[in-house]
Amino acid sequence: MSLKKYGHFSKDGTEFIITNPITPRPWINYLTNEDYCAIISQNAGGYSFYKDCRSDRILRWAPSNWHNDRPGRYVYVRDKDTKKYWSASYQPMRIKPQLYEARHGLGYTVTNTTYHGVNIEITFFVPTHDTCEVWLVKVTNKTDKKKNLELFPYAEWLLGDYHQELRYRNIMNLYNRVWYDKSSKAIFAKKTAFWGDMHIKPYPYINFLASSLPVAGFATQKDAFLGRCNTEEAPEAIVKGNFKNFELTSGEDAIACLKHNLFLKPKSSKEFSIVLGQTDKDDHLAVLLDKYRDVKKAKSELNAVKKLWSERVLDNIVIETPDKDFDRMMNIWVKYQVYICNFWSRSPSYYHEGGGGRGFRDSCQDAESIMSIDVAHAKKKIRRIVPLIRKDGTCAPGFSDTTGPAKHRPNKDHPVWLTMTVAAYIKETGDNEILQEYAPYLKDNWINGWDKDVNYKGGISTDGEGTIFEHLEKNLNFTFNDVGSKGLPLIGHADWNDAIDAAGIKLKGESVWLGMALVRSLKTLAELAMLLGENKKADQLLHKASTMTDRINDIAWDGNWYVRGFTDEGDVYGSSKNKEGKMYINAQSWSILSGVPSKERQDKLLKSVDKHLDGPHGIALFSPAYSKWDSGLGRISMFSEGTKENAAVFCHAVTFHAVAECIAGRGTKAYEAMKKIMPNSQKDYDLYKTEPYVYAEYLVGPEHPYLYGEGAFTWITGNAGWNFLAATERLLGARREYMGLRIDPCLPKKWKKAKIVRPFRGAVYHITIKNPGQKEKGVKKIFVDGQEIDGNLIYPHSDGKVHNVEVIMG
């Protein structure tokens, strides 16, 4: 079914307008600053958290939310005269409205319904800095008769550690204290103390819900408000109209619900605001309540939020190609998605349970992908990641803003990622000094990248310091030396592919992909060594890269493609010799990203990708899927065929491959690969199901018995960033390099013209690419401000001006 059944983009593309409340999955938005985040669906479902979605969750989320899209942030309504009741955002009562529309924009979501002649528009947003969310409500009586309404803003508290809540629900709610504070006219909520993994910490926060309307009633007890066996879909207090005040909840499931009486003359409106949030400072609490209970101030903050997001998303790189859907994704929505990934990594969503924290490899890639639009954010992230590296070159697998470095076993692939991010930073800015910046090394109880030091008692601390370059060098030395009998890097309990988690647990299994990723990073670190004038070191690094390249070419070539690895038992996977999992995309795309294959091999493997992995819904992660559990490989073989890492069209891997196709000069193939996974270009949204404005983690692969083409796990995925990089740096080919901006487009044959605006080191380049001969790669001439230049590198002007660049392909 076409997208029209569910909605459409606004004319300028900055909003997605949903016209049918029952989309095949909740279609959501992230309203967020860097501290407070509210996830919200088109029917106001969703939850909120502060700093970390596991350890400090404010509102409840249920694992079945992807299906029933509840609970959320609701305003129940009762008409006192007619006794009719409904919920303003369609959910949770799900009564059919006379009019329905929801709009997801950059930093805000609006729900708009009309029931029984009453229109209610609610604009939800999170302020630029304050740790709260605001619901701006406008109620309009559209009829010629007066309306006597009761309104009940409602939310359900979780308060605290979500994992503990899942395991010990009956105990966690015993720590709840929620009350109506008469002097502040607000509901306040807290836990007596934080409880997680047997560690007890003070709970320094106060959570609140307050309204700008006079309060006529308040309820905090969930069970009493809903009535026995009811859900929020039909609370007794609303359905039966027997709302009672429950001033205190102590040791029970808790809600925040206020009651307001609202009299509206015919054809009149009333605006009010609800504020919900968390703070640890008493004086700040009063400030937040005062500010956001003032509708005028709340509206002006909404404008500030819109302005901030529009600057972040719209005021930088802009592309113009013959494909308007492609432009819309790259100019607006993918940048927005890249921000959300950078702010919250891979944890909070409608699908993931929200384990909290950020992964090491994810954060490195997120920082690289935001580099060209928010370099300050990327730099901050690099500085956050570097101290996660130990002196032995291994890394803590991630970190949380509330609980610090992750404590589980180091991943084998983590050391190869940060070099690329730091190099991208230098290419973007020209600031080599970052390499000589000092940072501490991490000390914890992990040693040798695998074992626990039983004698180490110190918890997490530091272990001296070194420059960022030294950190990176230790990283790559570790992986170069941590090899198996074939000389390829050990895979341990996974590499990029988290689900190949049993191939190396006896510390013998090896990863061809990791060997390739190492080659790419070694070559890049050699470039960084040259920037420091360390030519000898650069030679050594290049020597290591060529040693690893030779090993890969000697051992891993299968005849028509590269194999993916070898298990602890020495069995190959990703080979024509295997019955299932014969060929993996990453071992092909990354061979090209790292410059491993000869031209002949490259041609062969690209042909093999076309033949074995490409399909109508995109390139599969590998083929064929595993049909049963293989204990020698791990959970990759446990997923249903075609889902997740078991041979889905895994979008992150698709975009690695799009970059590889551009390096190989196949622009048409690169574009086709990207186009098939584009959320706004799907043909059948009853099949695809997920949001049409943000990328999914994967599309179900061809071997699934009936879901081929369904989108899964949207928003928080590394493919957003790689799509943006592939489009801007490779397809449109305006690519940062140490000395300047390289102009190296790789277009689909049918594109005769394309444009990209690229701000770079203090100047803005308006680049027009002309492709009269319909080539895929190759630049004949480049004119900068009318002057032809030699080669295709533009040296930075850094003069604050706009420069026109004309590129003739040929």
Active site residues: 498
Residue 620 or 743 having the CB closest to ligand GLC: 620
Length of the chain: 810
Q: According to CB under 6 A, which one of 73, 104, 259, 361 is a site residue for ligand GLC?
A: 361
Under the criterion CB under 6 A, does residue 496 sit at the interface with ligand GLC? yes
In DSSP terms, 248 is beta-bridged to 179
Question: What does the alpha-carbon distance between residue 84 and residue 383 come to, in Å, rounded to a whole number?
Answer: 57
Residues whose CB is less than 8 angstroms from the CB of residue 1 and which lie 6 or more positions away in sequence, other chains included: 684, 685, 686
What is the identity of the amino acid at 78?
A: R
Question: Which range in 196-204, 349-357, 359-367, 519-527 contacts ligand GLC by CB under 6 A?
Answer: 359-367
Nearest-approach distance from CB 112 to ligand GLC, in angstroms: 34
Question: Which range in 29-37, 39-47, 49-57, 492-500 contacts ligand GLC by CB under 6 A?
Answer: 492-500
- Residue 331 is given by DSSP the state I
Q: According to CB under 6 A, which one of 428, 510, 645, 703 is a site residue for ligand GLC?
A: 645
Distances (CA, A) of 40 to 61, 72, 208, 355, 401: 11, 8, 18, 19, 22
Question: Which range in 265-273, 356-364, 518-526, 666-674 contacts ligand GLC by CB under 6 A?
Answer: 356-364
Nearest-approach distance from CB 496 to ligand GLC, in angstroms: 4
- Residue 397 is given by DSSP the state S
Nearest-approach distance from CB 673 to ligand GLC, in angstroms: 18
Under the criterion CB under 6 A, does residue 337 sit at the interface with ligand GLC? no
Nearest-approach distance from CB 621 to ligand GLC, in angstroms: 9
Contacts with ligand GLC in 697-756 (CB under 6 A)? Answer: 697, 717-718
**H/E run at residue 756:** strand 753-760
Do residues 173 and 253 lie in contact, with contact meaning Cβ atoms separated by under 8 Å?
yes
Nearest-approach distance from CB 711 to ligand GLC, in angstroms: 14
Look-up: residue for tokens 């947003």?
125
Residue 28 or 712 having the CB closest to ligand GLC: 712
Question: What does the alpha-carbon distance between residue 686 and residue 682 come to, in Å, rounded to a whole number?
Answer: 10
Given strand 398-400, what is the order of strands in its sheet? 358-359, 398-400, 404-405
Do residues 335 and 374 lie in contact, with contact meaning Cβ atoms separated by under 8 Å?
no
Question: Which range in 162-170, 296-304, 348-356, 494-502 contacts ligand GLC by CB under 6 A?
Answer: 494-502
Residue 752 CA to its chain's centroid (Å) = 33
E strand segments, 88-198 = 99-105, 108-115, 118-125, 132-141, 147-160, 176-181, 186-191, 193-196
Question: What does the alpha-carbon distance between residue 264 and residue 146 come to, in Å, rounded to a whole number?
Answer: 6
Q: According to CB under 6 A, which one of 328, 652, 736, 758 is a site residue for ligand GLC?
A: 652
Do residues 718 and 668 lie in contact, with contact meaning Cβ atoms separated by under 8 Å?
no
Residue 289 or 720 having the CB closest to ligand GLC: 720
Under the criterion CB under 6 A, does residue 362 sit at the interface with ligand GLC? yes
Nearest-approach distance from CB 413 to ligand GLC, in angstroms: 8
Q: According to CB under 6 A, which one of 14, 91, 349, 497 is a site residue for ligand GLC?
A: 497
Nearest-approach distance from CB 701 to ligand GLC, in angstroms: 14
Nearest-approach distance from CB 652 to ligand GLC, in angstroms: 6
Residue 702 phi, psi dihedral angles, 5° rounding: -65, -20
Residue 15 or 362 having the CB closest to ligand GLC: 362
Question: Which range in 76-84, 358-366, 526-534, 625-633 contacts ligand GLC by CB under 6 A?
Answer: 358-366
Nearest-approach distance from CB 228 to ligand GLC, in angstroms: 42
CB atoms within 10 A of CB 336: 24
Residue 133 or 641 having the CB closest to ligand GLC: 641
Residue 113 or 594 having the CB closest to ligand GLC: 594
Residue 489 or 718 having the CB closest to ligand GLC: 718
**Closest residue by Cα to residue 57 from 344, 408, 407, 384:** 344
Under the criterion CB under 6 A, does residue 346 sit at the interface with ligand GLC? yes
Helices (H), 49-207: 65-68, 162-167, 169-172
Residues whose CB is less than 8 angstroms from the CB of residue 422 and which lie 6 or more positions away in sequence, other chains included: 382, 434, 435, 468, 472, 528
Contacts with ligand GLC in 790-809 (CB under 6 A)? Answer: none
Could you give the string, one character per residue 293-332, with x where binding to ligand GLC holds by CB under 6 A and - elsewhere? ----------------------------------------
Tokens for 372?
A: 């060209």
Residue 645 or 691 having the CB closest to ligand GLC: 645
Question: What does the alpha-carbon distance between residue 457 and residue 220 come to, in Å, rounded to a whole number?
Answer: 44
Nearest-approach distance from CB 356 to ligand GLC, in angstroms: 14
Residue 496 or 708 having the CB closest to ligand GLC: 496
Question: What does the alpha-carbon distance between residue 420 and residue 353 come to, in Å, rounded to a whole number?
Answer: 30
CB atoms within 10 A of CB 601: 19
DSSP, collapsed to helix, strand or coil, labels residue 410 as coil
Q: According to CB under 6 A, which one of 304, 499, 530, 532 is a site residue for ligand GLC?
A: 499
Under the criterion CB under 6 A, does residue 366 sit at the interface with ligand GLC? no
Question: Which range in 5-13, 17-25, 422-430, 495-503 contacts ligand GLC by CB under 6 A?
Answer: 495-503
**Closest residue by Cα to residue 476 from 405, 422, 557:** 422
Nearest-approach distance from CB 499 to ligand GLC, in angstroms: 6
Site size toward ligand GLC (CB under 6 A) is: 13
Under the criterion CB under 6 A, does residue 372 sit at the interface with ligand GLC? no
Question: Which range in 131-139, 209-217, 242-250, 496-504 contacts ligand GLC by CB under 6 A?
Answer: 496-504
Nearest-approach distance from CB 705 to ligand GLC, in angstroms: 23
In DSSP terms, 150 is beta-bridged to 78, 261
Do residues 29 and 103 lie in contact, with contact meaning Cβ atoms separated by under 8 Å?
no
Do residues 629 and 580 lie in contact, with contact meaning Cβ atoms separated by under 8 Å?
no
- First-to-last alpha carbon distance for the chain, in angstroms, is 41
Q: According to CB under 6 A, which one of 320, 325, 498, 672 is a site residue for ligand GLC?
A: 498
Residue 406 or 754 having the CB closest to ligand GLC: 406
Residue 3 or 494 having the CB closest to ligand GLC: 494
Contacts with ligand GLC in 658-697 (CB under 6 A)? Answer: 697
Tokens for 187?
A: 């509901």
DSSP, collapsed to helix, strand or coil, labels residue 470 as helix
Question: Which range in 54-62, 65-73, 357-365, 471-479 contacts ligand GLC by CB under 6 A?
Answer: 357-365
Do residues 110 and 29 lie in contact, with contact meaning Cβ atoms separated by under 8 Å?
no
Nearest-approach distance from CB 118 to ligand GLC, in angstroms: 44
Question: What does the alpha-carbon distance between residue 355 and residue 407 come to, in Å, rounded to a whole number?
Answer: 13
- Residue 435 is given by DSSP the state G
Under the criterion CB under 6 A, does residue 565 sit at the interface with ligand GLC? no
Residue closest to ligand GLC when measured from CB atoms: 498
Residue 9 or 399 having the CB closest to ligand GLC: 399
Determine how β-strand 99-105 pairs with β-strand 85-87.
Answer: unpaired
Cα 508-479-729 angle, rounded to 5 deg:
125
Residues whose CB is less than 8 angstroms from the CB of residue 324 and which lie 6 or more positions away in sequence, other chains included: none
Q: According to CB under 6 A, which one of 26, 105, 354, 359 is a site residue for ligand GLC?
A: 359
Question: Which range in 442-450, 497-505, 598-606, 722-730 contacts ligand GLC by CB under 6 A?
Answer: 497-505
Which residue ranges make up the site for ligand GLC (CB under 6 A)?
Answer: 346, 359, 361-362, 496-499, 645, 652, 697, 717-718
